[in-house]
Amino acid sequence: MIQKNKWAWAWVPTMYFAQGLPYALVVTVSVIMYKKLGVSNSDIGLYTSFLYIPWVIKPLWSPFVDLKSTKRNWFLWMQLLASAALLAIGLTLPTNIFFVTSLACFWMVAFASATNDIATDGYYMIGLTEDKQSFFVGMRSVFYKLANVTGQGLLVILAGFLENKYGDNTKAWSYTMICAGSLMLLMTLSNLFVTPKFESSEAIELEKPKGFLEVFVSFFKKPGMGLAIAFILFFRLGESQLVKMASPFLLDSTAVGGLGYSTSEVGTIYGTIGVIFLTIGGILGGILISKQGLKKWMLPMLISLNAPNALYALLAITATTEAWAVTGTVIVEQFGYGFGIAGFMVYLIYIAEGNSKTSHYALATGFMALGMMLPGLISGFMQEWLGYDGFFIWVVVAALPAFFILRYIKYPADFGKAKA
């Protein structure tokens, strides 16, 4: 058997970059692309919203990833499929049926990416010891976020440059999607060479579930699972709404309660300064848990995730547009997100401990996705109803249930701590 933790510094970044990139392309970049290609808002809203479904329902087929073949085979083939589908989008955009063919390919990317998530997270849990899972949890979050920045930022910037160069949006986005597919293929090849074959031991084989239904039954029969699910659903209740409305708040004019910043200014604040502090927060969170255990840091991390909500409320109430105040708020928010989400991800790893950990982690992250999706659906309506100042005050209040539930959930105080 290959020793656990081998080459982790090489494969954790590339695997989680490969996890985040297709998600960003399907959920965010597809909307921008279709808008620039002349598709109506109603069609964009309808058809691209459905593309999110695979990430919500991925627990339904997670047992197959546990039961059949190895996690390594699953994520390599799914990453290759996503690469091919992205290349196909680029090649078919110049055709008269581009909308149908590109949507079909985006569906392929979505299902491949959701399945890749299951296999990647399962491989992470069996390839690393408990303390190293905690240590690297910040890094995996950082590279996932960097993939999002690459998709939503760099590739969109490339598309804009090519639009100006060629004066042809179709050609520009065709080349951009070919570049996206090529980047995804590069990540796949990297993972082929840097990921060790951990899954050959008898101990790992014994952790596989005996049957399909056993996965779900054993998950919900775990002690305290009702409270655990409630905590997962409410952990990001405030932040999940803030993240949807933060950019519109910065971009909207001061006449409607926004701050009137330009697109390039928002991109610079979030895409450069924000990413730096997100990286620092995520890595620091993982290191602290691996040194002192989850119990000591769960409450501070929950506070750090939600404290920036109050700063947004202060900006909205005072209508402050000063660059130092806005940039400082984003710095605190991004650092707090990186630091706080580290504790949450380690808790999800604890929830998945035991047999069928790959499927159980997929179930836990499925509830996490639900906890992000449902509040996000109402965030726009809440903002329009309350205005930006009332909305951010509501976001502060929405964070409180998680603090109440935290008092009652149970987990080992030293979970995630490096063993002496």
Confidence at residue 210, expressed as pLDDT on a 0 to 100 scale = 60
- Residue 249's pLDDT band, with cuts at 50, 70 and 90, is confident
Confidence at residue 401, expressed as pLDDT on a 0 to 100 scale = 95
**Euclidean distance between CA atoms 104 and 321, whole angstroms:** 43
Confidence at residue 395, expressed as pLDDT on a 0 to 100 scale = 93
Phi and psi (nearest 5°) for 377?
-65, -35
CATH number of 214-406: 1.20.1250.20
Q: Do the beta carbons of residue 97 and residue 206 sit within 8 Å? A: no
Q: Do the beta carbons of residue 20 and residue 120 sit within 8 Å? A: no
Please report, for the chain, the start and end positions of each structural domain, with discontinuous segments joined by +: 8-208, 214-406
pLDDT digits (tens, 9 = 90+) for 364-416: 888 888 887 788 778 778 888 888 899 999 999 999 999 999 999 988 888 87
Phi-psi region of 319 (alpha: psi -120 to 50; beta: other; left: phi over 0): left
The Cα-based distances of 218 to 41, 68, 214, 335 in angstroms read 44, 19, 6, 36
Mean pLDDT over all residues of the chain?
A: 86
In three-state form (DSSP H/G/I as H, E/B as E, the rest C), the secondary structure along 226-287 is: HHHHHHHHHHCHHHHHHHHHHHHHHHCCHHHCCCCCCHHHHHHHHHHHHHHHHHHHHHHHHH
Packing angle of the helix pair 323-351, 357-398 (nearest 10 deg): 140
pLDDT digits (tens, 9 = 90+) for 44-57: 767 776 787 888 88
Domains 8-208 and 214-406 share a fold: yes
pLDDT digits (tens, 9 = 90+) for 58-96: 888 888 887 788 899 999 999 999 999 999 999 999 998
Whole-number percent of the chain with pLDDT over 70: 93
CATH domain 8-208 topology: Growth Hormone; Chain: A; (1.20.1250)
Of 136, 122, 343, 141, nearest to 232 by C-alpha is: 343
Whole-number percent of the chain with pLDDT over 90: 37
**Euclidean distance between CA atoms 305 and 140, whole angstroms:** 17
